[in-house]
Chain A
Amino acid sequence: MTDCASCADERAAGAAFCEACGRALGAPCPNCGIPGGVGEDGYCQNCGMLAGRPRDHIENDRGEVAAAVTDRGRRHHRNEDAMWLAVRGADVDVVVSDGVSASFDPDVASETAANTAGALLAGSPDVSAAILGAKQAVADLVNSGDPRRTTSNPACTIVLATVRGAEINIGWVGDSRAYWLPPDGPAEQLTEDDSWATHAIAMGADPIAAMQDPKAHAITAWLGADAAPVLPRTGAFTVVGAGHLVLCSDGLWNYLPDPEAFAATVRAHLRAGGTLISAARSLVEFANAAGGADNITVALIPVSSAADVTPAHEALGETPAHEIPAETPADEIPAVEIPAPADEKVKE
Chain B
Amino acid sequence: MPYTAEAFQNEFLALGATEVNAIITVTSSGSEGGRRTAGATEIIIVDASGSMQAEGRINAARQAAKAAVECIDDGVNFAIIAGVSTAQQLFPAPGQLAVSSPQTRAEAVRSIDRLQASGGTAMGAWLLLAGQLFAQRPGDIAHAILLTDGDNGERHGYLEQVLDSIAGRFTCDCRGVGVNWKVSELRKIATALLGTVDIVAQPSGLTAAFEQMMTKAMGKTSADVQLKVWTPVNSTVRFVKQVEPEVMDLTGKRAEDGPRAGRYPLGSWGAESRDYHVCVDVAPGAAGDEMLAARVSVVEGDTVHAQSLVRAVWTEDSALSTRINRQVAHYTGQAELADAIQAGIEARKAGDDRTATIKFGRAAQLAHASGNKATEELLATVVDIEDAATGTVRLRRKVEAADEMALDTRSTKTVRVGRAQ
Query: Residues of A with Cβ closer than 8 Å to B?
Result: 32, 41, 43-44, 46-50, 53, 72-77
**What is the minimal beta-carbon distance from A348 to any residue of chain B, in angstroms?**
8
Can you identify 9 A-B contacts, CB atoms within 8 angstroms?
Answer: A46-B233, A48-B231, A50-B291, A72-B288, A75-B288, A75-B316, A76-B288, A77-B289, A77-B313
Find out whether the CB atom of A77 lies under 8 angstroms from the CB atom of B232.
no
C-alpha spacing A73/B205, complex, angstroms: 66
C-alpha spacing A46/B258, complex, angstroms: 12
* B292 in the interface (beta carbon within 8 A): yes
Find out whether the CB atom of A47 lies under 8 angstroms from the CB atom of B233.
yes
Find chain A residues with CB under 8 A from B235 CB: 48
Given contacts A48-B292, A50-B291, whether A77 and B314 have CB atoms under 8 Å apart is yes
8 new A-B contacts at CB < 8 Å, known A48-B232, A75-B316 = A44-B292, A48-B231, A48-B282, A49-B290, A50-B289, A72-B288, A75-B287, A76-B288
C-alpha spacing A74/B286, complex, angstroms: 9
Query: Residues of B with Cβ closer than 8 Å to A?
Result: 12, 231-235, 282, 285, 287-293, 295, 309, 313-316
Find out whether the CB atom of B287 lies under 8 angstroms from the CB atom of A48.
no
Q: Which residue in B234, B288, B295, B313 is a CB contact (below 8 Å) of A47?
A: B234
C-alpha spacing A246/B101, complex, angstroms: 83
Find chain A residues with CB under 8 A from B234 CB: 47
Q: Which residue in B287, B290, B295 is a CB contact (below 8 Å) of A50?
A: B290
Find chain B residues with CB under 8 A from A43 CB: 291-292, 295, 309
Question: Which B residue's beta carbon lies closest to that of A48?
Answer: B232
Find chain B residues with CB under 8 A from A44 CB: 232, 292
Find chain B residues with CB under 8 A from A48 CB: 231-233, 235, 282, 291-293
C-alpha spacing A73/B315, complex, angstroms: 13
C-alpha spacing A47/B235, complex, angstroms: 9
**What is the minimal beta-carbon distance from B18 to any residue of chain A, in angstroms?**
13
Question: Which A residue's beta carbon lies closest to that of B234?
Answer: A47
**What is the minimal beta-carbon distance from A77 to any residue of chain B, in angstroms?**
5
Find out whether the CB atom of A74 lies under 8 angstroms from the CB atom of B231.
no
Given contacts A46-B233, A48-B282, whether A74 and B287 have CB atoms under 8 Å apart is yes
C-alpha spacing A43/B230, complex, angstroms: 12
Find out whether the CB atom of A50 lies under 8 angstroms from the CB atom of B233.
no
Find chain B residues with CB under 8 A from A76 CB: 288
Q: Which residue in B285, B287, B315 is a CB contact (below 8 Å) of A49?
A: B285
Question: Which A residue's beta carbon lies closest to that of B287?
Answer: A75
Question: Which B residue's beta carbon lies closest to that of A346?
Answer: B319
Find chain A residues with CB under 8 A from B309 CB: 41, 43
Question: Which B residue's beta carbon lies closest to that of A76?
Answer: B288
Find out whether the CB atom of B288 lies under 8 angstroms from the CB atom of A77.
yes
Find out whether the CB atom of A47 lies under 8 angstroms from the CB atom of B287.
no
C-alpha spacing A32/B233, complex, angstroms: 10
Q: Which residue in A41, A53, A73 is a CB contact (below 8 Å) of B292?
A: A41
**What is the minimal beta-carbon distance from A94 to any residue of chain B, in angstroms?**
27
Question: Which B residue's beta carbon lies closest to that of A44?
Answer: B232
